[in-house]
Structure 1
Amino acid sequence: VGHIHQVSSKVAGTVGEVLVNDNQQVKEGDLLVKLDPKDYQNKVQQAVAALQSAQQQANAAQANIGLASQTTTGKTTQAQGDVSTAQASVSTARAAVTEAEVGIPAAEAAVQEAEAGIPAAQSQVAQADATLTRTQADYKRYENLFRQGAIARQQLDTARAAYDVALAQRNGAIQGVQQAQARLASAKVGVARAQSLLAQAQEGVTTAQAKLAAARGGLQQATASGQQTSVNRSQYAAAQGAIAQSQAALKDAQLQLSYTSIFAPAAGRVGRKTVEVGNRIQSAAPLMAIVNNDYWVVANFKETQLEKMHPGQVVDVKLDAFPSHTFIGRVDSVSPASGAQFALLPPDNATGNFTKVVQRIPVKIVIDPKSMQGYDSRITPGMSAEVTVEVK
């Protein structure tokens, strides 16, 4: 008996080269068969390309994380500054509105005061007109009397002086009306100016509020950019997963490619070779067998012969193929069960019809390599042998 190693392929493919023949001696690790590697080389190249693509995606995602983080920080800082500036502008504009609102009542009061001064000035004009008319009539009358010699020159001069005073007073009253009207016009201009300032201040509030809303929108947008950073981090994590998956796929493809070279699992001789160049083989299909050079004998002794038998005892072995040569061996071990127990249908003696049958127990006998010199390449598993155990 010897170890027989069945050689098969782990992958399917077309046989490109067979490097051994039947009965050829091989060493462990020798190349036996080569399959066409093109399909598996293509798979390796595809796996390499997929890995490179995944690495590029990961690098891009990582770069996007840094860029988005820096951009978000800058935009957020700027947006917060814009919001603060806009809030200050709104406060300033509202203060201007308040100030403008306070100025309108004062301007309106000045208009009312100016309007009230006009009737008084006009009344003074009327009084001055009446005085002027009277003094003018007196002056004309005194002038006629003076021509007639009825009055002295002094009386005429007095009447003239009174007329001049009345004329001056009338002119002064007219100027008073004009001044009152000018004050009214100026007061109305002040009201218009105050109203204009109020309108400008209110418009400033509206503009400042619009800028504040825009600044808050920019802040929200900057905050949303932070969510993009989270998205980029998720994409980077996914890319890392894709890299791991691609690396595993590449290792698997490289492993499959390595399986296109089939090596000897042990030293021995080639037997039952069925593979030829050009064959299309499937995985696990038997291609050949390797029978190694470790031989032993399995002797089936009766159970009644085992009383004095134990491992280490010397054994004489005669092979039917070489009857003139005696091989020396030793008992290696005794089977843990009888041969019948390992049968496909082991006997069942529980039926009640029991017939005692002497059982055969397999005993493993190892042959000394020195006694096999010159025969080791000629001995094959399956040969018949007679063994004699020295049980002394």
Structure 2
Amino acid sequence: MSTTKPPAQPAAGDKRPDHIQQPEDEGLSTAGESTPEQPEPEKTLRLRTTLSIGVLAVAAVLLILFAWRLPPFSSPYERTENAYIRGQVTLISPQVSGYVAEVLAADFQYVAAGQPLFRIDDRIYRQRLAQARASLAASQADLANSAQAGASSRANVGSREAELASARAQRVRAEADMARVAELAADGSLSIRERDQAEAARRAALATVKQAEAALEVARQDVRAVEVSRLGLEAAVESAEAAVRLAQIDLDNTVVTAPEDGQLSQVGSRRGQYVTAGTQLVSLVPPRLWVIASFKERQAGRMQAGLVAVLTVDALGDQRFTGRVQQISPATGSEFSVLPAQNATGNFTKVAQRLPVRIELDDGQEGLKNLRPGMSVVARVDMRTGEGEERENR
């Protein structure tokens, strides 16, 4: 019986591997397993690096074009956030001074045109109206007296004319008598004394005529004086009538009314407060609103009336409204400032100016009643040619 010897164990100091692959084992192992991945060539690595840099450069260029809204990312809309809703906010003030007797308006109340809002104590103004009417009555009485005086002076002129006619008749008679007396005195039929008496009578008749003519002229001057006085009295009557109308206007103005339909702001006056003419009592916001959008020079250069605008209101959850460009400001906003910028020094920094554009809101849109002056708006204007006409024809 043969015994199998155990395999020889390596010595403690022998560091040889437990298994030494024989050449034939290498052939078998290579046949049974895949070859390990070889290192990438240097040419392929360079190509990948170049492609990566190119992709990053193209992405950067596209990002810049997108940020500046340049082609192919340019939009047919010009956009601005510098836009606000505007309205004709009217400051309601009294035209007369006095104590507020009654406040008929409430905060944020909707009112109609002509609706009373405040009443000012009118007792003084009623008395002024009565005084003006009394002055008018006195002026009218003076005018009536002048008319009566004119009639009397004209009658006096008639009387003076009759007296003049009588005096002239007496003069004719005296001259005729004088002619006959002179003939008779010439042949001795009458004495010289009788001739002198006839001559005296003729001269007296002539004097009477002159006196009558003077009296007639005085009467006519009286008529002219009455007419001149009448013109002054008529002017006084017109002045008194104007004073009555002014007093009536002041009395009517003691009731402060709404000039048009709209909504009130907070009421700034209370009963018993003394107010002067022009004191702001409350503001009225009418329902008609529009948008003022300030676009940069490059944006507004091609704008024209009639272009369609899309408006987004921040306060209404970015609700969208449509409108149309109505007018473009004739100058930039800086030109209307109290002290326009004067770049007279050598240090100059170019600043893009803005042109205010008025945009009218289209009627019949839902939510228009929720708009308020002063709300912020994001405005976009469609710059495509003919877009406004095309949408209108649809």
The aligned length equals: 299
Q: Do structure 1's residue 379 and structure 2's residue 371 form an aligned pair?
A: yes
Q: Do structure 1's residue 292 and structure 2's residue 286 form an aligned pair?
A: yes
Q: Which has the larger radius of gyration?
A: 1
Structure 1 counterpart of 2:118, one-letter code: V
In the alignment, is the contact (CA less than 8 A) between 2:174 and 2:201 conserved in 1? no
Deviation at 1:79, TM superposition (A): 5.2
Q: Which residue of 2 aligns with 1:64?
A: 149
* Separation in 1, partners of 2:200, 2:103: 91
In the alignment, is the contact (CA less than 8 A) between 1:330 and 1:367 conserved in 2? yes
Structure 2 counterpart of 1:305, one-letter code: Q
Q: Do structure 1's residue 249 and structure 2's residue 243 form an aligned pair?
A: yes
Q: Which residue of 2 aligns with 1:358?
A: 352
Q: Which residue of 2 aligns with 1:388?
A: 380
Deviation at 1:83, TM superposition (A): 6.5
CA 1:19–1:98: 2 relative to 1, 3 Å: same
Instruction: Looking at secondary structure, tell me which structure has more helix per residue.
Output: 1
CA 1:369–1:221: 2 relative to 1, 3 Å: closer
Question: Where does 1:297-316 land on structure 2 (aligned, <5 Å)?
Answer: 297-306=291-300, 309-316=303-310
- 1:356 is paired with a residue whose SS is coil
CA 1:95–1:328: 2 relative to 1, 3 Å: closer
In the alignment, is the contact (CA less than 8 A) between 1:44 and 1:250 conserved in 2? yes
Q: Which residue of 2 aligns with 1:110?
A: none
Deviation at 1:242, TM superposition (A): 1.6
Q: Which residue of 2 aligns with 1:320?
A: 314
CA 1:283–1:206: 2 relative to 1, 3 Å: same
In the alignment, is the contact (CA less than 8 A) between 2:170 and 2:205 conserved in 1? no
* Separation in 2, partners of 1:76, 1:309: 86
Q: Which residue of 2 aligns with 1:78?
A: 163
Q: Calculate the TM-score normalised by the size of structure 2.
A: 0.62
CA 1:333–1:96: 2 relative to 1, 3 Å: closer
Q: Percent identity?
A: 28
Deviation at 1:2, TM superposition (A): 1.8
CA 1:233–1:360: 2 relative to 1, 3 Å: closer
CA 1:227–1:389: 2 relative to 1, 3 Å: closer
* Separation in 2, partners of 1:75, 1:339: 81
Question: Where does 1:1-392 land on structure 2 (aligned, <5 Å)?
Answer: 1-78=86-163, 80-82=165-167, 84-85=169-170, 217=211, 220-306=214-300, 309-323=303-317, 325-373=319-367, 376-392=368-384
Unpaired segments of 5 or more residues in structure 2?
1-85, 385-394
In the alignment, is the contact (CA less than 8 A) between 1:332 and 1:366 conserved in 2? yes
* Separation in 1, partners of 2:246, 2:269: 26
Offset from partner CA, 1:147-184 (integer Å, 9 cap, x none): xxxxxxxxxxxxxxxxxxxxxxxxxxxxxxxxxxxxxx
Unpaired segments of 5 or more residues in structure 1?
106-196
Offset from partner CA, 1:281-312 (integer Å, 9 cap, x none): 21122111101122222222222333554444
Tell me which of the two structures has the higher relative contact order, counting C-alpha pairs closer than 8 angstroms and 6 or more residues apart. 1
Structure 2 counterpart of 1:30, one-letter code: Q
Q: Calculate the TM-score normalised by the size of structure 1.
A: 0.63
Deviation at 1:67, TM superposition (A): 1.9
* Separation in 2, partners of 1:69, 1:307: 80
Deviation at 1:80, TM superposition (A): 4.3
- 2:360 is paired with a residue whose SS is strand
* Separation in 2, partners of 1:90, 1:331: 101
- Let me know the Cα RMSD of the aligned residues: 3.7
